[in-house]
Amino acid sequence: MSDKPTLENCSFTFVQEGNCNGTTDKYEELTIECESSLGIDNDNGCYYVLKTETGWSIDNVNDLQELLDRINRVIKEGDK
């Protein structure tokens, strides 16, 4: 084990206004958990678990990709 603390897992919560059809709550909340079998630092990455109780609306796949890219930047920058 390293002398430095290691990142095991992390969780990100995003919030936005509900969609215009009213099929979700007034505010939508999406939690993306980053998990891995040996810890994020030890595995050099993670897999993603998406959770929502309110619904989460996207206009296209790029909206979701932007969230995942943002998470990846935060995890990698935290390694510096």
DSSP per-residue string spanning 35-72: E-SS-HHHHTS-EEEEE-SS----SSHHHHHHHHHHHH
Domain that holds residue 36: 10-75
Mean pLDDT of the 42-58 span: 96
Answer whether residue 5 is part of any domain: no
pLDDT surpasses 70 at 80: no
Mean pLDDT of 26-42: 96
Q: Answer yes or no: is 31 within a domain.
A: yes
**Residue at 36 is within a domain:** yes
Domain tally, the chain: 1
pLDDT at 32 over 70: yes
**pTM for this model (two decimals):** 0.89
Q: What is the pLDDT of residue 18?
A: 97
Would you say residue 2 lies in a domain? no
Contact 41, 62 (CB under 8 A): no
Quote the tokens at residue 73: 């930047």
80 domain residue, yes or no: no
* Domain presence at residue 1: no
pLDDT for position 77: 79
Percent of the chain clearing pLDDT 70 (strictly above): 94
CB 47 within 8 A of CB 71: no
